[in-house]
Amino acid sequence: MNRQKNKATASKRRGSGDSHLIARLDAAAGRLNRIRQARDPNEPPLVERALQAAAEVEKQLMAQSARIAYLETLSMTDELTGLLNRRGFEDSFRRALISAGRYGDEGVLIACDLDDFKSINDRFGHVAGDEVLRQVGWLLKTHTRETDFVARLGGDEFAVILIQTGWRNGLKRAQTLSRALNRLVVKMNDATIAVSASIGVEHFGPDDNDAGTLIARADMAMYVNKRRRAAITLVRAAE
């Protein structure tokens, strides 16, 4: 637990440091632009060389700023699927709750977990398992809006944040996602892999500010649905 706290603290410090550096780089670029606009066309060669050197420094600073932004993006992105990772999800959900409180918006959180994913890895191999995860991520992304947030939290756990969405509409969209996921078939080499997934849905509004509680409720709803699906499967097998 202490390791996680230390890691989170280090990440916050690193993020704060990056933001300060980017602000300083932007300020330096602004000063260089003002100097360039105010220059006299009859300036002597020495000043011209100084401006050229300053322009080169500006170019390097901009490249470093872009590199920092790229690394920040990587730190919030799941490498396998290209979706948000857990850190990116938590940051996005925090901002969604702040926005909901400020503007009186509603939203829906969807927790998603693949059923019996271990058996896919055991039977078809981890390469096939990775392909299933990629296609699940692609499906979730293509069935949501650009303004929504889709994340892979780790393993076979995914989450979707539907912003500016009422409960009824959010529930319909969650059901659509569930149907699409449970119709997904992944073909790899000679293997045909049918995907099965369970979801849980939780509504949030302007008065909700505890992300942890909302996530726990969505997870609980998802596990209830998973147990029901397992029970139905057992009954059908017994028949």
The catalytic residue among 156, 207, 208, 219 is 156
Whether residue 8 is predicted with pLDDT greater than 50 in this model: the reply is: no
Distance CA 117, CA 120 (A): 5
**pLDDT value for 74:** 54
pLDDT in tens, 39-68: 556 655 666 666 677 777 777 667 666 655
Domain spans of the chain?
A: 2-75, 86-238
**pLDDT value for 160:** 98
**pLDDT value for 4:** 46
Distance CA 201, CA 43 (A): 67
Residue 111 corresponds to which tokens in the numbers above?
Answer: 């927790």
pLDDT in tens, 161-212: 999 999 999 999 999 999 999 999 999 888 899 999 999 999 999 999 999 9
Does the active-site annotation cover 156?
Answer: yes
**pLDDT value for 21:** 64
pTM for this model (two decimals)? 0.69
Most confident of 23-32, 49-58, 78-87, 226-235: 78-87
- Nearest to 185, CA basis, from 197, 176, 195: 195
**pLDDT value for 31:** 65
**pLDDT value for 65:** 61
Domain at 86-238: CATH architecture: 2-Layer Sandwich (3.30)
